[in-house]
Structure formats: C-alpha cells, structure tokens
C-alpha cells in the first residue's frame, strides 16, 4: 500500500507560487484602470466646467465685443487645461507601460529560474 500523505500548506504554497504572477498582473491592471478612470473623470469635469462658464458668459447681457473677448479667454484657459491633461495622459501611459514591462520581466525571470531548477 502506498503511503500518501497530503500536506495542505505545501499545496497552498505551490498554488500561490503558480498564480502569484497572474494575481499581480490583475492588481496592476486594476490600478491602471482606476487611474485612467480618474483621469477621464477629470477631463469630463473640465469639459463640464468649460460648458458652464460658456453658458454664463453667453447669458450675461453684454456687448458682442465683450462676449467675444470672454469666450476667447475661456477657450484659451480651457486649451491650457487640456494641454495639461494631455501631458498627464502621456505620463499615465508611460507609467502603465513601465509597470507591465517590469511585471513581465520579473515573471519571465521566475519562469526561467524554475526551468533551470527542473532541468
């Protein structure tokens, strides 16, 4: 009769080591999705604020020249905000790419190490 002993802690540790890269990738993906969601909310808020400011400027009874000047000022300010948001977007994408590249490198190194041990 074969002596079969089951050690739950060994099985759990094996499970953790096998699925650790997948769990970490999911965590990194969720962090990235959250950051991009916050970014999109900030851009939508900027558009909303710009629209409200445009409406207020249009509803104020002014001369056409004053209205044009205020519209130009609002549009210039909005353009500057959007330029900042574009820089923020580039930073987000660069950081996300670096994070996933690092994760992939670490996972590849662990797999290569496991292959060397088994060979």
pTM, full prediction: 0.74
The closest of 116, 97, 106 to 21, measured between CA atoms, is 106
Residue reference for tokens 């205020």: 70
Residue reference for tokens 């950051």: 35
Residue-wise pLDDT tens digits, 104-117: 898 888 878 878 87
d(CA 79, CA 91) in angstroms, rounded, equals 19
Q: What is the predicted pLDDT for the residue at 1?
A: 52
Helix axes 64-118, 8-59, angle to 10 degrees: 170
Residue-wise pLDDT tens digits, 2-60: 667 777 787 777 777 777 888 888 999 999 999 999 999 999 999 999 999 999 988 88
End-to-end CA, the chain? 31
d(CA 75, CA 54) in angstroms, rounded, equals 9
d(CA 102, CA 63) in angstroms, rounded, equals 58
d(CA 88, CA 93) in angstroms, rounded, equals 9
């Amino acid at each position: 009769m074969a002596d079969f002993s089951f050690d739950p802690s060994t099985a759990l540790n094996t499970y953790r080591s096998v699925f650790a890269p997948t769990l970490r990738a999911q965590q990194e993906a969720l962090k990235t999705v959250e950051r991009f969601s916050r970014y999109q909310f900030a851009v939508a808020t900027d558009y909303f604020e710009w629209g409200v400011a445009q409406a207020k400027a249009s509803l104020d009874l002014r001369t056409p020249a004053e209205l044009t000047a205020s519209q130009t000022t609002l549009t210039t300010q909005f353009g500057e905000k959007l330029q900042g948001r574009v820089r923020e977007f580039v930073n987000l994408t660069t950081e996300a790419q670096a994070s996933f590249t690092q994760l992939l490198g670490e996972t590849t190194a662990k797999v290569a190490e496991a292959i060397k041990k088994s060979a």
